[in-house]
């Protein structure tokens, strides 16, 4: 194991896309930001120095941060922001994980431009459980707004309505030639005939789940969220914000130029977004003048594809990489996901859209929840988040309009150390059904079941996959359906859980788990680092 050091300077830089130039927040002036390359077992020290006029915090999405929430990064959950002119060193060990993850700003909408990949190579001498690729490449999706992202967010808050959708999707920060002025902002991957490539695909988009395909080439999925899967071959992958997917691609087609394309999956009523980001897979020796071929992508509302794709995702569950699925559940949680309307005196219409879990809209605290928990500071949060919704109703049928209003609160759930938890996330028809990629910090979980309609606690658990369910850190709750996850609460601390659609996070679709210390000293949270940003 080694110590890897990185310096992240938060700087504003002028970048032009789609015929517009604008200042954006970056790490080291790069967009997307630098890749963090580490090996399983390494200690990583990232010094973040903030030279911009925005408050900053960085989250290492998918790293478990065992007993070390101080390095997790979500602002006001595990730390206060790094203010202008200040620094903080994220200091963490990469233990028991290998694969592709990513990092991003975890404050307001700044992750629109502040994001990058994390590559964790397996321990020396440990090969991948799939053919060694000739070369690997990072493919990271994003969203680009021509206007200032902070203004977009503020506009949304003022109207109480969704702000403008992004102007483009991007691949490695580039929208590709289907967008205006974007010929030169096109990512190209050069390949050699008969060689195999590992693509580390990351969805860093703020609000869109994406289909991705490469014309003429299949992909073999081998890993999701830094966990190996049973390999399967597909023309198209589906990836929600927050998720990562590693695929192998064989360059065995007629040498040519082929488009890689990403476009939103949108099966909720009234959602339309057809913007297609493209990049080019180019065989060595083929001139740039050859017109690339476009891949066929599923229709934007192809729910059937989404269901069958997600059903193919299985943990590898080899002797070396076991899926340790909790078979007995100590704590049953059932959370409804609702969109709703709350009064808003400062909003243009006097109301605003909100989002809630069990009818509670989470209110951000003024100091970090982890500090409040560790130092026993009273009055910051309440430990009374309900295990079940206030009134059971026909969640995906006729909505109870009374449920459209929500109660506000910084309310979280207390979980006993090492207990096994089952959480069912149920989408509802409050306002509208929609799919929600849920992300839990500090843990991977097993996706033991999913379905359309209302979760049936009598019948559905009998159908759970407790053998090789996918293990991940972000999972989609299907439009008008439910998803059940299980995990063992063996990582003490305060761990954020939220919808990874930034729009919904901002509306309050979030809460946290306070996982208590165990009895032994090695079952407790580490003490905080000296340079932890003060509030």
User: Per CB under 6 A, does 74 bind ligand C2O?
Assistant: yes
| 174 binding ligand C2O? (CB under 6 A) | no
- If one asks whether residue 61 binds ligand C2O (CB under 6 A), the answer comes out as yes
Is 314 a residue that touches ligand C2O (CB under 6 A)? no
Q: Please name the residues in contact with 522: beta carbons below 8 A apart, sequence gap of 6 or more.
A: none
Alpha carbon distance 486, 150 (integer Å):
36
CB of 173 to ligand C2O, least distance (A): 18
DSSP conformation letters of 246-312: EEEEE--S-SSEEEEEEEE---STT------EEEEEEETT--TTSPPBPPP---TT-HHHHHHHHHT
CA 84, CA 108: separation in Å to the nearest integer? 16
DSSP 314: -
**Contact status: 106 vs ligand C2O (CB under 6 A):** yes
- Please report whether residue 472 would count as binding ligand C2O according to CB under 6 A: no
Output 438 or 446, the one with its CB closest to ligand C2O.
Answer: 438
Min dist. Cβ of residue 203 to ligand C2O (A) = 10
Q: Which are the contacts of 441, defined by CB distance < 8 A and separation ≥ 6?
A: 59, 65, 69, 72, 74, 77, 78, 495, 496, 497
Interface pattern 227-246 for ligand C2O (x via CB under 6 A): ---------------x----
88 SS3 class: strand
Q: Which is nearer to ligand C2O, 202 or 339 (CB)?
A: 202
533 near ligand C2O, judged by CB under 6 A: no
Q: Rounded to an integer, what distance in angstroms lies between the CA atom of residue 535 and that of residue 531?
A: 12
Judged by CB under 6 A, the stretch of 47-55, 269-277, 460-468, 493-501 that binds ligand C2O is 493-501
Q: Lay out the site mask for ligand C2O across 509-528 (x = CB under 6 A, - = otherwise).
A: --------------------
Taking CB under 6 A as the rule, does residue 116 contact ligand C2O? Answer: no
CB of 520 to ligand C2O, least distance (A): 29
Are 416 and 489 a contacting pair, CB within 8 Å?
yes
**Contact between 439 and ligand C2O (CB under 6 A)?**
yes
Distances (CA, A) of 467 to 290, 446, 463, 471: 48, 10, 11, 11
Interface residue with ligand C2O, options 10, 42, 59, 78 (CB under 6 A) = 59
Least spacing, CB of residue 252 vs ligand C2O, in Å: 35
72 vs 460 by CB, closer to ligand C2O? 72
Point out which span in 81-89, 305-313, 360-368, 496-504 binds ligand C2O (CB under 6 A). Answer: 496-504
Piece of 281-289, 390-398, 400-408, 495-503 that binds ligand C2O (CB under 6 A): 495-503
For residue 57 the two structure tokens come to 């915090």
Count the residues of the shown chain that bind ligand C2O, applying the rule CB under 6 A.
11
Asked whether position 217 contacts ligand C2O by CB under 6 A, the answer is no
Phi-psi region of 207 (alpha: psi -120 to 50; beta: other; left: phi over 0): alpha
Told to check if 257 binds ligand C2O by CB under 6 A, we report no
Minimum Å distance from CB 375 to ligand C2O?
23
Binding of ligand C2O at residue 373 (CB under 6 A)?
Answer: no
User: What is d(CA 307, CA 476) in angstroms, rounded to the nearest whole number?
Assistant: 11
H-helix or E-strand spanning residue 208: none
**Using CB under 6 A, which of the segments 37-45, 215-223, 356-364, 492-500 binds ligand C2O?**
492-500
> By CB under 6 A, is residue 275 in contact with ligand C2O?
no
Among 380, 281, 385, CA closest to 336: 385
Instruction: Work out how close the CB of 205 gets to ligand C2O at its nearest, in angstroms, rounded to a whole number.
Output: 11
Q: Is 436 in the site for ligand C2O (CB under 6 A)?
A: no
Q: Is 200 in the site for ligand C2O (CB under 6 A)?
A: no
Residue 124 CB, nearest distance to ligand C2O (Å)?
A: 29
Shortest CB 74 distance to ligand C2O, Å: 5
Q: How far is the CB of 397 from ligand C2O (least distance, A)?
A: 31
Q: Which CB sits closer to ligand C2O, 364 or 416? A: 364
Cα gap 82→88, rounded to integer Å: 7
CA 124 to chain centre: 28
**CB of 102 or CB of 259, closer to ligand C2O:** 102
Determine, following the binding rule CB under 6 A, whether residue 504 of this chain makes contact with ligand C2O: no
* Cα–Cα distance for residue pair 159/74, rounded to 1 Å: 26
C-alpha–C-alpha distance, residues 8 and 395, integer Å: 45
Least Å from the CB of residue 413 to ligand C2O = 17
Do residues 258 and 215 make contact, with C-beta atoms less than 8 angstroms apart? yes
Q: Are 115 and 85 in contact (CB under 8 A)?
A: no
Rounded Cα distance between 238 and 311, Å, is 12
In this chain, which of 140, 498, 514, 532 binds ligand C2O, going by CB under 6 A? 498
Three-state SS for 156?
Answer: helix
Cis-peptide into 32, omega within 30 deg: yes
**By C-beta, is 77 or 360 nearer to ligand C2O?**
77
Examine residue 64 and tell whether it contacts ligand C2O (CB under 6 A): no
Q: Of residues 92, 309, 335, 496, which one binds ligand C2O by CB under 6 A?
A: 496
In whole angstroms, the minimum distance from the beta carbon of 110 to ligand C2O comes to 12
Residues 6+ apart with CB under 8 A from 353: 160, 161, 162, 339, 340, 341, 431, 507
Nearest residue (beta carbon) to ligand C2O = 61
Distance CA(174)–CA(17), nearest Å, equals 8
Tokens of 52: 């911009």
Binding site for ligand C2O (CB under 6 A): 59, 61, 74, 104, 106, 242, 439, 441, 496, 498, 500
């Amino acid at each position: 194991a080694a110590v890897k050091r990185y310096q992240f300077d938060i700087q504003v830089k002028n970048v032009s896309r789609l015929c517009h130039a604008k200042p954006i927040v970056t790490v080291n002036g790069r967009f997307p930001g630098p890749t963090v390359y580490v090996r399983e077992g390494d200690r990583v020290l990232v010094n973040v120095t903030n030279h911009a006029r925005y408050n900053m915090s960085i989250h290492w999405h998918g790293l478990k941060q065992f007993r070390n929430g101080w390095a997790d990064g979500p602002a006001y959950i595990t730390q206060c922001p790094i203010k202008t002119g200040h620094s903080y060193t994220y200091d963490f060990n990469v233990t028991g994980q290998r694969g592709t993850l990513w990092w991003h700003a975890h404050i307001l909408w700044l992750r629109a431009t502040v994001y990058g990949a994390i590559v964790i190579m397996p321990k020396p001498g440990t090969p991948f459980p799939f053919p060694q690729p000739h070369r690997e490449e990072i493919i990271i999706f994003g969203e680009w707004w021509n206007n200032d992202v902070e203004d977009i967010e503020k506009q949304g808050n003022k109207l109480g309505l969704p702000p403008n959708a992004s102007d483009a999707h991007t691949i490695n920060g580039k929208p590709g030639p289907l967008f205006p002025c974007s010929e030169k902002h096109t990512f190209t991957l050069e390949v050699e005939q008969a060689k195999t490539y590992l693509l580390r695909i990351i969805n860093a988009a703020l609000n869109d789940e994406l289909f991705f395909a490469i014309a003429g080439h299949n992909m073999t999925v081998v890993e999701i969220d830094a966990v190996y899967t049973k390999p399967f071959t597909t023309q198209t992958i589906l990836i929600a914000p927050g998720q990562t997917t590693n695929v192998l691609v064989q360059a065995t087609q007629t040498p040519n130029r082929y488009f890689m394309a990403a476009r939103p999956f949108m099966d909720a009523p009234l959602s339309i977004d057809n913007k297609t980001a493209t990049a080019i897979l180019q065989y060595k020796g083929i001139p740039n003048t050859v017109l690339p071929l476009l891949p066929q992508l599923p229709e934007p509302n192809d729910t059937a594809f989404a269901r069958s794709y997600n059903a193919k995702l299985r943990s590898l569950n080899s002797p070396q990489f076991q899926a340790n699925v909790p078979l007995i559940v100590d704590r049953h949680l059932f959370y409804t996901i609702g969109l709703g309307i709350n009064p808003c005196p400062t909003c243009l219409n006097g109301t605003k859209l909100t989002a809630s879990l069990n009818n509670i809209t989470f209110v951000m605290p003024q100091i970090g929840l982890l500090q409040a928990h560790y130092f026993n500071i009273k009055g910051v949060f309440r430990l009374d988040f309900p295990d079940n919704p206030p009134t059971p109703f026909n969640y995906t049928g006729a909505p109870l309009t009374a449920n459209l209003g929500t109660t506000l609160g910084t309310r979280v759930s207390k979980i006993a150390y090492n207990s096994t938890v089952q959480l069912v996330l149920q989408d509802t028809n409050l306002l509208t059904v929609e799919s929600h990629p849920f992300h839990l910090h500090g843990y991977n979980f097993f996706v033991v079941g999913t379905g359309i309609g209302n979760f049936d606690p009598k019948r559905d658990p009998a159908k759970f996959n407790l053998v090789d369910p996918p293990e991940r850190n972000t999972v989609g709750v299907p439009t008008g359906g439910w998803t059940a996850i299980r995990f063992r609460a063996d990582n003490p601390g305060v761990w954020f859980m939220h919808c990874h659609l930034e729009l919904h996070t901002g509306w309050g679709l979030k809460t946290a788990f306070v996982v208590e210390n165990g009895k032994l000293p090695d079952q407790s949270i580490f003490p905080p680092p000296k340079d932890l940003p003060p509030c």
